[in-house]
Amino acid sequence: MKRLTFKHFMLGCLLTAAITSCGNDNTTSSADATDSTANGTGGDTSGTASNLDDRAKSGVDSLADKINSIFSSGNPDSSFVLNAGTQNEDEMKLLQAGIDKGTSAELKSHAKMMLADHKKMGQEVKAYAAKKKYKTFDASESKAADEMKDLNSHTAGKDWDKAWSDKLVAGHEKTIRLFEKGQNNVKDSTLNGMITKTLPTLHSHLTMSQSLQSSFK
């Protein structure tokens, strides 16, 4: 209740500032129009009021977006959804690379199975995020491009497969840490249930990834 009250207080303060600013702009615009008329320039002011109304509305909307962003960044649920969505996108790119470029039949088989699971996870996260109006992917936080560049610096064949399995193990370890932390931090019971349901699958993926990693040593 305290968080909601403070948010409304901050919104009220910022909206008051926006309205005051717009009022000042209105006064300035009116003065300019008067000066223009007095000087004989006779500027057309028929659209002034409408333009100011549009500017005021735009300013209020912009402030509301900024406030929502500030409070969303401190929300453990929205933070988890954003991080989980970004990490899942990165892992799907890595798994698809395994299917496309891997030389081991076992690697390709495991990659296809894990990719199907991750696509399902991604759909569930996106559906939940849409309902809550949370962001699900942040390209600025994605490591996929760097991972792919580093991965493709390895020669094809067993060397590439080994590098891929190393990244897959590291990726799943990171995802499991994220989900375990989220399990303790998120507030919404529905989201907590999704995390609890997903963790066994992630642990299974990690075990398979580690098995592949060992086979390439």
Structural domain including 23 reads 2-29+47-73
For the chain, first and last CA: distance in Å?
56
> pLDDT above 90 covers what percent of the chain?
57
What are the pLDDT digits (tens) for 120-172?
999 999 999 999 999 999 999 999 999 889 888 888 888 999 999 999 999 99
- State whether 67 and 99 are in the same domain: no
Count: domains in the chain? 2
41 within domain boundaries: no
Name the nearest CA neighbour of 212 among 179, 180, 171, 174: 171
205 within domain boundaries: yes
Q: At what angle do helices 76-101 and 48-73 cross, to 10 degrees?
A: 80
- State whether 83 and 54 are in the same domain: no
